[in-house]
């Protein structure tokens, strides 16, 4: 076994991951709070008003990072679901299932903030637009994964069944992303591009990117915290879990 494979096996060990995640989680939450506050201040206070939408556009500093995260988290969940189904790695099962509630929350925020913005811009809270509809389907997929996981008593069997559903639903992710290109929709196209110039002023771009970083840091912190709690419950009968539960005062 080479060094890289050995390292991955060590990190994938529940007790090792539990301890490493415990060290990083507070830092991730702290950095998320710091970058989020700076990003919000830049977007809500420093950035100028839009020449067409005035101050109503400022909801994008919540809406857009949340929309990006709704897709990103589903991708992370699907990757872990694939690993869990193919190699039966317990940590990947746990991470996949812990992704679902966080992704559902970001998707719900995306839909809510989109509706708030859509009312003054489109004159309606909701329309069966391709982007909105596919994002709603994404929320249903997250809820389906959560519901299926909690419907089966055996935790590992439940994780594998829910992982299969997560993999089936991955087809919706590119549909959400490319819906504004594939169909004639009310939703505006992408204004931020990784390759080439972005169609948004720099004074608005940097707070948006900072908010995107903040949401990713918060996601990692929340994922680690949830995974630690799930692993402690899943490994309750093992010595390391009992020792950690006694040390932290948690119930194994």
155-202 confidence digits (pLDDT tens) = 999 999 999 999 999 999 999 988 877 766 766 667 766 656 666 888
Residue 100 has pLDDT above 80, yes or no: yes
Average pLDDT over residues 200-206: 89
Average pLDDT over residues 203-228: 96
Phi, psi values for residue 50, rounded to 5°? -75, 145
pLDDT at 4 (0 to 100) = 47
Q: Is residue 16 part of a domain?
A: no
Q: CB–CB of 3/192 below 8 Å? A: no
DSSP assignment letter at 54:
B
Closest alpha carbon to 41 in 66, 61, 17: 61
Which residue range(s) make up the domain with 122? Answer: 23-184+200-248
Q: Percent of the chain scored above 90 by pLDDT?
A: 67
CA distance 66 to 250: 32
Q: Is residue 217 part of a domain?
A: yes
Sole residue written with tokens 């990103």 = 72
pLDDT at 2 (0 to 100) = 56
The pTM assigned to this predicted structure is 0.93
pLDDT at 5 (0 to 100) = 56
Q: Is residue 2 part of a domain?
A: no
pLDDT at 155 (0 to 100) = 93
Residue 237 has pLDDT above 90, yes or no: no
Q: Cα angle vertex 183, ends 204, 196, to 5°?
A: 40
pLDDT at 251 (0 to 100) = 52
Q: CB–CB of 172/133 below 8 Å? A: no
Q: Is residue 3 part of a domain?
A: no
- Say how many domains are in the chain: 1
Q: Is residue 96 part of a domain?
A: yes
The mean pLDDT of the chain is 90
**Confidence class for position 54, pLDDT limits 50, 70, 90:** confident
CA distance 139 to 106: 9
Q: What share of the chain is helix, strand, coil (3-state, %, to 5)?
A: 80, 0, 20
CA distance 175 to 181: 10
Closest alpha carbon to 116 in 76, 59, 201, 70: 59
Residue 55 has pLDDT above 90, yes or no: no
Phi, psi values for residue 54, rounded to 5°? 60, -135
Q: Is residue 87 part of a domain?
A: yes
**Confidence class for position 244, pLDDT limits 50, 70, 90:** confident
Sole residue written with tokens 């992982």 = 163
Q: Is residue 37 part of a domain?
A: yes
Q: Is residue 13 part of a domain?
A: no
């Amino acid at each position: 076994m080479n060094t890289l494979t050995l390292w991955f096996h060590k990190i994938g060990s529940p007790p090792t991951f539990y301890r490493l995640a415990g060290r990083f989680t507070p830092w991730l939450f702290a950095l998320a709070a710091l970058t989020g506050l700076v990003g919000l201040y830049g977007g809500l206070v420093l950035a100028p008003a839009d020449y067409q939408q005035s101050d109503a556009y400022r909801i994008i500093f919540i809406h857009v990072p949340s929309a990006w995260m709704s897709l990103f988290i589903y991708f992370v969940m699907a990757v872990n679901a694939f690993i869990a189904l193919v190699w039966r790695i317990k940590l990947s099962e746990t991470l996949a299932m812990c992704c679902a509630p966080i992704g559902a929350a970001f998707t719900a925020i995306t839909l809510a903030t989109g509706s708030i913005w859509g009312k003054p811009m489109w004159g309606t809270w909701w329309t069966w637009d391709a982007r909105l509809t596919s994002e709603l389907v994404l929320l249903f997929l997250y809820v389906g994964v959560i519901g299926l996981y909690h419907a089966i008593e055996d935790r590992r069997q439940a994780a594998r069944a829910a992982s299969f559903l997560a993999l089936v639903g991955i087809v919706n992710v590119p549909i959400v992303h490319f819906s504004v290109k594939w169909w004639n929709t009310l939703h505006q196209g992408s204004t931020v591009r990784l390759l080439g110039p972005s169609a948004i002023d720099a004074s608005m771009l940097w707070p948006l990117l900072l908010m995107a970083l903040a949401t990713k840091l918060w996601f990692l912190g929340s994922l680690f915290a949830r995974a630690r709690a799930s692993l402690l419950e899943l490994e309750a009968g093992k010595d390391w879990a009992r020792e950690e539960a006694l040390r932290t005062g948690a119930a194994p």
